[in-house]
Amino acid sequence: IESAEIAITATAFLSSTLLGGAGADTFNANAQLTAVYIDGGAGSSLISASAGVIGSTLLGGTSNDIGAGT
């Protein structure tokens, strides 16, 4: 993958609460990760997963990742 196709920045990854950001990661009563969100910029999620479903098109999901097709 060329860098011009997909730009991943530290700021985007830090949107995940797992990495100290203010993203929408959530945990259940057993401290298991139930949802994770990594911001791809401009309000779009780069990786979004909930209840074991990966949203990222890079990982076979259905979300519209920037630079990864629609």
Tell me the average pLDDT across 4-25: 51
Domain ranges of the chain: 10-59
Q: What is the pLDDT of residues 20-63, one digit of tens each?
A: 555 555 566 665 555 566 655 555 555 555 544 555 555 556 55
Edge-to-edge strands, sheet with 33-41: 26-27, 33-41, 44-50, 53-54
DSSP character at residue 28: -
**Do 60 and 54 meet the contact criterion of CB atoms below 8 Å apart?**
yes
**Band of the pLDDT at 16, cuts 50, 70, 90?**
low
Task: Assess whether pLDDT exceeds 60 at residue 65.
Answer: no
Distance CA 33, CA 54 (A): 13
37: amino acid identity, one letter? Y
Residue type, 3: S
- What pLDDT, on the 0 to 100 scale, is given for residue 4? 44
